[in-house]
Amino acid sequence: MAFLVHLSDLHVGAINFREDYLLSAINKSNKLNPDLVIVTGDITENGYHLEFEKAAEYLDLIESPMLVVPGNHDSRHIGNESFEQLIRKRCRTLTVKNDEIKIIGLDSSEPDLDYGKVGRAQQKRMEEELKKAESDNLYKIIALHHHLIPVPKTGRERNVLTDAGDILKSIIDKNVDLVLSGHKHVPHVWQLEQTSIVTAGTVSSMKLRGKDICSFNTIDIQPESVEIMLNQADGNSRILAKYENKCKVID
C-alpha cells in the first residue's frame, strides 16, 4: 500500500503565479504525509536562476520524500544547469514502500523548445530499469513532464513527445502500471492496456482553460484498487479514476 502526491506546473516567476495556492497545496500534502511527492516539471516560468532559487525554497517546505523532473519551461535560458545545481538530479529512479514500488523519472525537456523528447539513451535506461522491476515483481511508475497521448479539452495538439510512439510502446510492452505527467494544465486519466496514464493540472498557475481550477492529484495504491483524486484550490475534491489494482505485489 502506498500513498502519493502528484504536483505539476508550479510556474514560479510567472505573472499569474499564485503563491497562496502553492503553499496551500504543500500544506495539505504535508498533512497527508504521503510516501512520496512527485513533481512533474515546469517548476519555473523562464528557467532563470533566481526563479529556481525561489522554487527550491518552496520545494524545501515539502516534508515527504520527493522526486522532481524538469519541464520545458525549466530548460529555457540554460535552466538545466540551475535545475542540476538547485533542485536535484534531473532523472532519478527511486523505490519506496519497502522496495515494492519503483518510480523512474525521465527528462523530456529540450533546451529552449516547448516540445519534448525522451531520446534513445533514456529509453534504453528506462527499459533496463523496467526489466529489473518486472523480474522483482514491483509496481512500476514513470514520471515525466510531457504527455504521451493527447489530453481532452486542450485544443489543437502540439508539444507531445516527438518520440511518443516509441516510449509508449516500451511502457506498454514492459507492463508499466502508472505514467504521471503534466504540461497541459488539464487533469485527466487514460487507461491503455494495463497502464493508467495520468495528467495533473497546474497547482499554482492561472494559465487555465475555461472554468478550470488549480489542482493537484493524490494517488492511493491499495492491494485491491487504485484511486486517483483531484484536489482543487477551492477546497473541493473528486475522484478522477478508481480501478482494480492488477499488480499483485502491493500488500
Separation of alpha carbons 216 and 205, rounded Å: 12
pLDDT of residue 34: 96
The strand pairing partners of 237, in sequence order, are 231
pLDDT of residue 88: 73
Give the CATH number of domain 2-244.
3.60.21.10
pLDDT of residue 251: 44
Separation of alpha carbons 112 and 135, rounded Å: 38
Q: Which residues of the chain have pLDDT under 70?
A: 89-93, 97-98, 159, 248-251
Closest CA to 143 of 175, 171, 169, 173: 171
Residue 152 exposed, middle or buried by CB count within 10 Å (0-12, 13-18, 19+): exposed
pLDDT of residue 91: 53
Separation of alpha carbons 122 and 100, rounded Å: 23
**What is the DSSP-derived secondary structure letter of residue 75?**
G
**What is the DSSP-derived secondary structure letter of residue 125?**
H
CB of 205 within 8 A of CB of 16?
A: yes
| 30's grid cell | 504535508
| 62's grid cell | 515539502
Which position has the grid cell 494517488? 219
The pTM score is 0.94
C-alpha distances (whole Å) from 71 to each of 32, 44, 116, 120, 237 are 26, 9, 9, 18, 26
Domain limits, the chain: 2-244
pLDDT in tens, 7-66: 999 999 999 999 999 999 999 999 999 999 999 999 999 999 999 999 999 999 999 999
